[in-house]
Amino acid sequence: MHIVIDRSSKISVKEQVRLEFAQRIRSGLLENGFQLPSVRQLSAQLSISLVTAHKVYNSLEIDGLIESIRGKGSFVKYPKSLSTAVPQNIPQAIQNPFDWQLAISDYLPRASLWSQSAIRLSPEILDLATASIHYTLLPLELLQTSIKKSLQQYPHSLGIYSPYQGDSEFLSAISNYLVAQKIPIHTHQLIVTNGTQQGMDLFARTFLGPGDIVAMEVPCFPGTIDAFRLSHATIQPVPIDHDGIRIDVLEDLSTHMKIKAIYTVPTCQNPTGSIMSLKRRMELLEFATNNNVLILEDDPHRELALPPSQSLNKLPPPLKILDQTGRVVYLKGFSKFLFPGLRLGIVAADGTIFNRLLAIKSIADLGSPLWLQKALIALFSNPQLLQYIKKLIQRLEYRSELVTAKLSKDLNPLIRYQKKQGGMHLWLTLPYSISADNLIPIAHHQGIHFLPGSIFYPGEPEQNHLRICWTNLSDDDLPKALDILCRILNQSVNP
Amino acid sequence: MHIVIDRSSKISVKEQVRLEFAQRIRSGLLENGFQLPSVRQLSAQLSISLVTAHKVYNSLEIDGLIESIRGKGSFVKYPKSLSTAVPQNIPQAIQNPFDWQLAISDYLPRASLWSQSAIRLSPEILDLATASIHYTLLPLELLQTSIKKSLQQYPHSLGIYSPYQGDSEFLSAISNYLVAQKIPIHTHQLIVTNGTQQGMDLFARTFLGPGDIVAMEVPCFPGTIDAFRLSHATIQPVPIDHDGIRIDVLEDLSTHMKIKAIYTVPTCQNPTGSIMSLKRRMELLEFATNNNVLILEDDPHRELALPPSQSLNKLPPPLKILDQTGRVVYLKGFSKFLFPGLRLGIVAADGTIFNRLLAIKSIADLGSPLWLQKALIALFSNPQLLQYIKKLIQRLEYRSELVTAKLSKDLNPLIRYQKKQGGMHLWLTLPYSISADNLIPIAHHQGIHFLPGSIFYPGEPEQNHLRICWTNLSDDDLPKALDILCRILNQSVNP
């Protein structure tokens, strides 16, 4: 376990070290029963005072993450799944034939989605957590047609490596699709990735490291936080308002720190669903140019913007298109509205930033599967694709209204949520004293699953939020799941 | 550009810094014409003496990598492609609209395969560089049958995310295949990766960082070196002899350093093709256990071991199978003998090492494509797969004999190469004074391409080697390419 302390940070050393432990424990990377170094050892390893080391463990114990036993030491006390009431025998020795491995240190600070996936759900539980569109709404027939066509047209591509950048025909098809969406990005700017998650990981690995500061919207997609934390950069949370990331906060931060990069999902933000105004986009670009900051723009949900407040024709362009300076790195995913089972996305960049991202793609996996790219060329060239997107928006609009009607009728008004502008999520805020994490075992017991809001924060988690995805269930199951959700949340507010 | 200096290393600081620059320049990460920091700046940035900084630039200039111009500074002088005689106008200002980007520092130390791919080859050049099997030898029909079947059987998998570990049915099919190959590895040990390159990258990111020492065979696959260099660990080269990696050297090293991990390709090593004996495997495991070292075993070529010296039944088992302690992480690729166009491989591990690799896989890309896994279930369950492998070995044996006959007849005996035991490469050694890098422009001019041996070394490159792949060309083209190769190499020895 490697802990990087930033002694120039405004956050206290104690708080930094506490957070490193807390995130590893909450992720399950430090397992239940794991013996922590003694206060003396921790103090020596990190060159911190004994008092600070003691305070770190004290806070962790108050938060219920560890247990200190006089004469024995401090042990992680955090069951893997909060939903399974595993009896805790601490500090019982771990019965693991690979016990010696615990001494092998690693560089993982947190892995929040992995820790969520470790929760074993029985199949009858209705999943409001996974962010995808129910497969009956996806264009599976268009996909099958495209795949069959490629088997005839490109059989040899099964037996050939892809160029690191991607297949040139596939890149052309993607570029044409983007142009049709009024996003003029061209093949020489594109690199194929395994979904946008790989794109953000490549960016973080190339440009972020210990001592670098990356500003990000909060709340924010946990996978991004994981990737940034893994780079050991310092994450600076920036709040959002109705128009998007707050420039006044960025300006204020930049008076006393050098921000290297900003991460944002300007269109249908995850988890709030909000859309950054054109004015705010221009202000953000101006800030970035004035302060020589890179922008990582993540755009997986653009096709899911909802009318009437927004339509594809009225949406402000991506930052990448508004930018004249080559400082925006643009991630475009297709998992959310087309094919989560194929995991192909793209990253678009210019100049040496493009070169450097391509270099790291070659190291990460030597390129994405050639044949999979060939299999999708017909899909992206098919005029029916745009018709499908239109129809999908109509169906999601219907669903979205169903969800709003349901919640406004049945949910206690103490529980707040933002009116949807697009995307597939809803971000719910409970009264401050209620922890959504604590509701998860109850939810599982009653037959639903959702994501606790706590994993959407890079630093100290706020626990009174939760995210639901309203597109992942069938038409039949969604109302049932919402019923259960309202019941649980109302009960938590008014027990 | 971030340079990590290990002041406890036996390698001098000057040499470490020189190598950091040299690798970035040879990779093309520092572009031709790029202005290096001044001697004074470098000295201040790295806290090294002015004399050392001066010596670094002096060596780089002697090696022909940079040019220092009095009153102007030091500039990278290394054309992107050695094969294209680009006129060099140094220190002409770079005409790049994204000039400001050069000041954005990154964490990339080298990217050798990417730099090779930047060489633009005209289509008529015969490619002896790419390590793959010509598609006419691959089981493309079996693959197509499997894919078509999955479209009928698992259409919904196009629209669903994969578990991070991989699809359970696919993992079962892989496990059954491995068991049939006498490699008893089970589903709970397996994680699906995007080829073995991702597997080694995941390992490096999890366990290697600045200050850690990883020992690796030399010469060694450049993609592994790239991944390890990116982790900023210290790479300790270890020579191999006829039986494999030299344990006496490892023993010697371990008297004065703590080795954290060892990387090896015990079966059909890349690039030499040699096979580690059973005795050496046991010794290696004993060394690792005694010194608490992890082993990363890479096994992409096992199916390509050639008779009569080896056959699948006589091959020593993988280290992973011989190991009782859970310290071997095993990478199994399928790109070399089955489907380079699909890029699926697996990593096998135990205990918390498995958990940690799975956590990082979730951060790297949220899992490999579900549908691609489903598309291969029928292939791995098809008895014809084993028949195909048998037939492939026969065809490769024929080719291998053709290559040996050709080289023993036509190649100047001053040029040495190892008798093939398996794999798809041949490692050729020229007299010490001849640089294979310098032969590449001549090779391109005469119509072939190969890999220079220099990229197979983690530290200072040996330049008098080259690697050819004798499986990538058609039956017609291979003899032509070998003719040209012999002519060029003979000419270099006897001009």
Mutate to test the interface with B, among A206, A366, A373 (most CBs of B within 10 A): A366
Which chain A residue lies closest to B294 (C-alpha atoms)?
A: A104
Please count the residues of chain A. Answer: 495
Among A324, A110, A368, A69, CA closest to A227: A110
Among B164, B217, B110, B20, CA closest to A363: B110
Which chain B residue lies closest to A193 (C-alpha atoms)?
A: B365
- Distance between B491 CA and the closest CA of chain A, angstroms: 33
Distance of CA B299 to CAs B311, B423, B473, Å? 15, 10, 23
- Distance between A409 CA and the closest CA of chain B, angstroms: 32
- Distance between B133 CA and the closest CA of chain A, angstroms: 8
> ipTM of this predicted complex?
0.94
B132 to chain A, any CB pair closer than 8 A? The answer is yes
Tens of pLDDT along chain A (495 residues) come to: 788 888 877 788 999 899 889 888 888 888 888 889 999 999 998 999 999 999 999 999 998 899 999 889 999 987 654 433 333 343 444 456 777 887 888 999 999 998 888 777 788 999 999 999 999 999 999 999 999 999 999 999 999 999 999 999 999 999 999 999 999 999 999 999 999 999 999 999 999 999 899 999 999 999 999 999 999 999 999 999 989 999 999 999 999 999 999 999 999 999 998 899 999 999 999 999 999 999 999 999 999 998 765 555 689 999 999 999 999 999 999 999 999 999 999 999 999 999 999 999 999 999 999 999 999 999 999 999 999 999 999 999 999 999 999 999 999 999 999 877 788 999 999 999 999 999 999 999 999 999 999 999 998 889 999 999 999 999 999 999 999 999 999 999 988
CATH entry, A140-383, from 3.40.640.10, 3.40.50.300, 3.30.70.890, 3.60.20.30:
3.40.640.10
Nearest by CB to residue A364, choosing from B147, B157, B201, is B201
Give the DSSP H or E segment for B239: strand B234-241
Q: Does domain B140-381 have CATH number 3.40.640.10?
A: yes
Mutate to test the interface with B, among A101, A110, A328 (most CBs of B within 10 A): A101
Q: Find out whether B323 and B295 touch, Cβ atoms under 8 Å.
A: yes
| CATH number of the structural domain B13-89+99-109 | 1.10.10.10
Contact B352 A31 (CB under 8 A): yes
A51 to chain B, any CB pair closer than 8 A? The answer is no
Residues of chain A with CATH 3.40.640.10: 140-383
- Extract the tokens encoding B131: 């390590």
What are the contacts of A316-319 at 24+ separation with CB within 8 A?
Answer: A316/A266, A316/A267, A316/A275, A316/A276, A316/A277, A316/A278, A316/A281, A317/A182, A317/A183, A317/A278, A317/A281, A318/A183, A318/A266, A318/A267, A319/A264, A319/A266, A319/A281, A319/A284, A319/A285, A319/A295
Contacts of A115 in chain B (CB under 8 A): 359
**AA identity, residue B249:** V
Residues of chain A with CATH 1.10.10.10: 13-105
- Distance between B316 CA and the closest CA of chain A, angstroms: 25
Mutate to test the interface with A, among B3, B140, B258, B365 (most CBs of A within 10 A): B365
Q: Note the CATH architecture for domain A13-105.
A: Orthogonal Bundle (1.10)
Radius of gyration of chain B (CA): 23
Residues of chain B with CATH 3.90.1150.10: 126-137+386-493
Nearest by CB to residue A140, choosing from B31, B158, B359, is B158
Contacts of B152 in chain A (CB under 8 A): none
CA distance B77 to A52: 51
Task: Locate the DSSP E strands across B317-375.
Answer: 328-333, 345-348
Tens of pLDDT along chain B (495 residues) come to: 788 888 877 788 999 899 889 888 888 888 888 889 999 999 998 999 999 999 999 999 998 899 999 889 999 987 654 433 333 343 444 456 777 887 888 999 999 998 888 777 788 999 999 999 999 999 999 999 999 999 999 999 999 999 999 999 999 999 999 999 999 999 999 999 999 999 999 999 999 999 899 999 999 999 999 999 999 999 999 999 989 999 999 999 999 999 999 999 999 999 998 899 999 999 999 999 999 999 999 999 999 998 765 555 689 999 999 999 999 999 999 999 999 999 999 999 999 999 999 999 999 999 999 999 999 999 999 999 999 999 999 999 999 999 999 999 999 999 999 877 788 999 999 999 999 999 999 999 999 999 999 999 998 889 999 999 999 999 999 999 999 999 999 999 988
Nearest by CB to residue B164, choosing from A117, A133, A325, is A117
Among B294, B356, B355, B344, CA closest to B319: B294
Which chain B residue lies closest to A369 (C-alpha atoms)?
A: B342
A369 to chain B, any CB pair closer than 8 A? The answer is yes
Contact A325 B132 (CB under 8 A): no
Count CB-CB contacts under 10 A for residue A1. 17
Mean of per-residue pLDDT scores for chain A: 91
Please count the residues of chain B. Answer: 495
CA distance B396 to B393: 5
Which chain A residue lies closest to B259 (C-alpha atoms)?
A: A104
CA distance A16 to A8: 12
Contact B2 A209 (CB under 8 A): yes
Nearest by CB to residue B160, choosing from A194, A340, A367, is A340
B388 to chain A, any CB pair closer than 8 A? The answer is no
Global confidence as pTM? 0.94
Give the DSSP H or E segment for A354: helix A351-365
Q: Which residue's structure tokens are 């002697």?
A: B62
Residues 338-367 of chain A with CB under 8 A from chain B are: 339-344, 350-353, 355-356, 358-360, 362-367
CA distance A36 to A39: 9
Contact A343 B367 (CB under 8 A): yes
A372 to chain B, any CB pair closer than 8 A? The answer is yes
Mutate to test the interface with B, among A95, A343, A365, A388 (most CBs of B within 10 A): A365
B117 to chain A, any CB pair closer than 8 A? The answer is yes
Superfamily name with CATH number, domain A126-137+386-493: Aspartate Aminotransferase, domain 1 (3.90.1150.10)
Nearest by CB to residue A158, choosing from B206, B342, B368, is B342
B108 to chain A, any CB pair closer than 8 A? The answer is yes
A294 to chain B, any CB pair closer than 8 A? The answer is yes
Contact B353 A98 (CB under 8 A): yes
Q: ∠ CA A218-A224-A230 to the nearest 5 degrees?
A: 115
Which chain B residue lies closest to A341 (C-alpha atoms)?
A: B158
B138 to chain A, any CB pair closer than 8 A? The answer is yes
Residues of chain B with CATH 1.10.10.10: 13-89+99-109
Contact A101 B368 (CB under 8 A): no
Nearest by CB to residue A359, choosing from B114, B201, B370, is B114
